[in-house]
Amino acid sequence: MAVPILKQAQYLIATIQSALTDEDLLSLQTALVEKVGKFRSRGVIVDVTALDVLDSFASRTLRDIAYIIRLRGAETVIVGVQPEVAFAMVQLGITLEKVPTALDLEEGLAYLDKKLQHARAET
Amino acid sequence: MPTDTNPGSFQLKSIIEKEPMRSTASATALLRELVEHLRQHRTELREEWARRITEAKVLTAMSDAEIFAEATSVYDNYVAALETGTFEALQTYSRNLSERIIPRGVETHEVIGIVLLLRDVLARSLFTKYQSDFQLLNQILDAYEPAANRIANTVAVGFVQERERIIREQQEAIRELSTPVLQVRERLLILPIIGVIDPQRARQLTEQLLRGIRANRARVVVIDITGVAAMDSHVANHLVQTVEASRLLGATVIVTGLSPEIAQTLVKIGVDLGKMNTVGDLQGGIEEAERLLGYKVVPSEAPGQIPGIREEP
């Protein structure tokens, strides 16, 4: 099942609705990387609230998405990791290092807003 | 073919059937004679037993007078159980006894030891009495030993069950001392941990914290472990995992109150604390959290009066 990607001002929001196959994840990656360039987005939010399991491939892909998008000049936030999922991931040794995370969509947007303000203030 | 798959059970059955035929008639009579003998020699056997207990240096938690008093009632219960062949009264008594002596630090091996001593003392008195008639001695022992074994068994099981019941109760009590996750400011939680953390409690703690983060939409969590006396690598790793899992939910964790001993242990066992944000004490942790959240505490110009303190005129 393809993941809808919504454009909201200077952000892209991808809300994962159901469990994804590995191909779905890779096409999400391709689509996000393309659209960041196309819409000149400054931030990307991937919402995983609906997922009750995140396996190692999914976590690695999420991490890759965040790294690739940083190279494309935007910031990625993963939002909505469930408490049980979070602990299961950590026990498997998956910690999404250096990838920002936030509680939910609202927090994610707040994080990006703050981050961009900082970036603007510095330039 | 179910008839010959298990020859063992068939053999066993025939033995069981044979046993009562030989002794049903005389067993009750013998047992009665035995009980009579034990009643008659109650005083000296009891004293002999108490002497053996003192000699064996068990039950050091109790005084001689207490041992003698308990020995008397154990002896009477023992004989009553032999006589009636029912063990309910003995079971109740051994449970009562356990309830009384467990808090005084009496060990399992001591209880089993004294019951076996009594069994031995009584058996010896039987040897002495029937030494001239080997046939009768054998029959008496046939009647005595199964009953004595069951008594020893009942007392030991009663004691262990009582112990286990206490342990279960205590475990529940500890579990009920659940660790509260408290909100001190908007988006700031504190989790004070006190006491020993075992793997089960650690898991419960993490669960509560992660739920709390979600329910209170927390952004910063202060985990205070001032009240934790010791920590092993398992618990330390669990703590690190909790910190990482909280981050996945978008919350920053500050750990405060690491005692010098725990700090040294953690470094010695090589727990990776690089990802952990630590501050000396709870106050510092809360101040750091407030800074992260953008709060600033300023003393107000007109301080409120503290109730209960009256100013001098």
pLDDT given at position B15: 44
Are B227 and B196 spatial neighbours (Cβ–Cβ below 8 Å)?
Answer: no
Domains and CATH numbers, chain B: 23-174 (1.10.490.70), 182-293 (3.30.750.24)
Is the complex ipTM more than 0.90?
no
Number of Cβ within 10 Å of residue A116's Cβ equals 16
- Looking at residue A56, which CATH number applies to its domain? 3.30.750.24
Tell me whether residues A107 and B211 touch, CB distance under 8 A. no
pLDDT given at position A30: 92
CA–CA gap between residue B75 and residue B95 (Å, rounded): 15
Q: What is the pLDDT of residues B215-242, one digit of tens each?
A: 999 999 999 999 888 888 888 888 888 9
Residue type, B224: D
Chain B positions touching A102 (Cβ under 8 A) are 250
> Structure pTM?
0.57
Q: How confident is residue B20, by pLDDT bands cut at 50, 70 and 90? A: very low
B211, B244, B250 member nearest A102 (Cβ): B250
Number of Cβ within 10 Å of residue B83's Cβ equals 16
Q: How confident is residue B313, by pLDDT bands cut at 50, 70 and 90? A: low
Chain A positions touching B245 (Cβ under 8 A) are 83, 86-87, 89-90
Backbone angles phi, psi at B260, to 5 degrees: -55, -40
Length of chain A: 123
Tell me whether residues A90 and B245 touch, CB distance under 8 A. yes
Q: Is residue B85's pLDDT more than 70? A: yes
Q: Are strands A5-8 and A11-15 parallel, antiparallel or unpaired?
A: antiparallel
Segments of chain A with pLDDT less than 50: none
Q: Which of residues 161-180 of B touch A (CB under 8 A)?
A: none
B204 CB-near residues (< 8 Å, 6+ apart): B175, B178, B179
DSSP conformation class of A75: E
Closest chain B residue to the Cα of A88, Cα to Cα: B245
B222 CB-near residues (< 8 Å, 6+ apart): B188, B189, B190, B191, B253, B254, B255, B256, B282, B285, B286, B289
Q: Is residue B9's pLDDT more than 50? A: no
Closest chain B residue to the Cα of A87, Cα to Cα: B245
Q: Is residue B190's pLDDT more than 90? A: yes
| Minimum distance, in Å, between the CA of residue A54 and any CA atom of chain B | 12
Between A87 and B11, the higher pLDDT residue? A87
Domain span holding position A101: 5-122
| Minimum distance, in Å, between the CA of residue A53 and any CA atom of chain B | 14
Structure tokens at B51: 């002497």
pLDDT given at position B312: 60
Instruction: Tell me the mean pLDDT in the region B246-269.
Output: 88
B260 CB-near residues (< 8 Å, 6+ apart): none
pLDDT given at position B74: 80
Cα B3 to chain centroid, rounded? 46
**How many domains, chain A?**
1
| Minimum distance, in Å, between the CA of residue B275 and any CA atom of chain A | 10
